[in-house]
Amino acid sequence: MIITTSLATFGRYCLFMRNVFSVPDRWGVYLRRTVTEIVKLGMDSIPLVLIISVFIGAVITIQMQLNINSPLIPAYSVGLATRDIVLLEFSNSILCLILAGKVGSNIASEIGTMRVTEQIDALDIMGINSANYLVLPKITGFVLFMPVLVVLCIGTAFIGGYGVAAFTDLIPVSRYLYGLQALFTEWYVWYGLIKSLVFAFIITSTASFYGYYVHGGALEVGKASTDGVVSSSIFILLFDVILTKLLLQ
């Protein structure tokens, strides 16, 4: 039972994506909407990303120091471990889980409201491919802007760690900075960026899907928004495992 319904949902998702990924009716309109979405979904998320990153960066540094507090391990390991955690997992998976809450619920409720107030029908009636018109700019806009968020996240998390080094006596600043640069693997950055692109796609497409197929009223829009966030989170975690296996091993 649950298998058939999931398969049916997945089938509908694929059909929906086929409508989304068709040639826009008007390139000018599409580009303008993409810029709007970059501002709305991407730029407006910057404050949240900065706040979270600076605190988590500081916390990771403190916890690493407590965990590997041993005379046998060199002090710079704290910086190194902080860096790798941030690059490998925090700046992409965890960040996207958080953004799934913000961006996903925003998208699902916006599109869901348009559905229940017949605005989507109005688009269809005019002869516009509503899925393409509404959803494609969101997907491309957010996917395009995701690397910026990731880089900002990495940078601010390191600054958070630096704050700990500078304002506490847990670890000397020079050791922290040395650790940040020691034994650097460039691939980790690419790995994180690739993951984040996939997650950005998951968040926008899943949330749009749930919003687009709302039936009913305000109550259902709320439910669609929750469903969108929950399923995109699950898919993010699932693809985290798959991509890690594929890209790191």
Partner 1 sequence: MIEVKNLIKSFDGRTVLHDLSATFYTGKTNLIIGQSGSGKTVLMKSLVGLLRPDSGEILFDGRNLPDMGRTEIRNLRKEIGMLFQGSALFDSETVLGNVMFPLTMFTNQRYADMKKRAMFCLERVNLTGAESKYPSEISGGMQKRVAIARAIALNPKYLFCDEPNSGLDPRTSILIDELLSDITHEYGITTVINTHDMNSVLGIGENIIFINKGYREWVGDMSKIYNTGNKALNDFVFATRLFQQVREYVASHETTVPPRDAR
- Is residue 44 within the footprint of partner 1 (CB under 8 A)? no
- Contact segment (CB under 8 A) with partner 1 among 50-58, 127-135, 175-183, 205-213 equals 127-135
Identity of the residue, 125 or 241, whose beta carbon is nearer to partner 1 in the bound complex: 125
Phi, psi values for residue 21, rounded to 5°: -90, 60
Cα–Cα distance measured from residue 22 to residue 5, given in angstroms and rounded to the nearest whole number: 26
Options 128, 151, 159, 182; binder of partner 1; rule CB under 8 A: 128
State the nearest-atom distance from the C-beta of 35 to partner 1, in Å: 14
Least Å from the CB of residue 228 to partner 1 = 19
Whether 204 contacts 143, CB under 8 Å: yes
Nearer to partner 1, 92 or 109 (CB): 109
93-109 burial code (b ≥16 CB/10 A, e <16)? bbbbbbbbbbbbbbbbb
Stretch of 65-73, 100-108, 123-131, 171-179 lying at the interface with partner 1 (CB under 8 A): 123-131
| Whole-angstrom distance, CA of residue 2 vs CA of residue 218 | 26
C-beta of 42: minimal distance to partner 1 in Å?
17
- Candidates 54-62, 118-126, 160-168, 183-191 — which segment interacts with partner 1 by CB under 8 A? 118-126
Q: Which of 3, 27, 71, 127 binds partner 1 (CB under 8 A)?
A: 127
Please provide the DSSP assignment of 88-126 as one string.
IIIIIIIHHHHHIIIIIHHHHHHHHHHHHTTHHHHHHHT
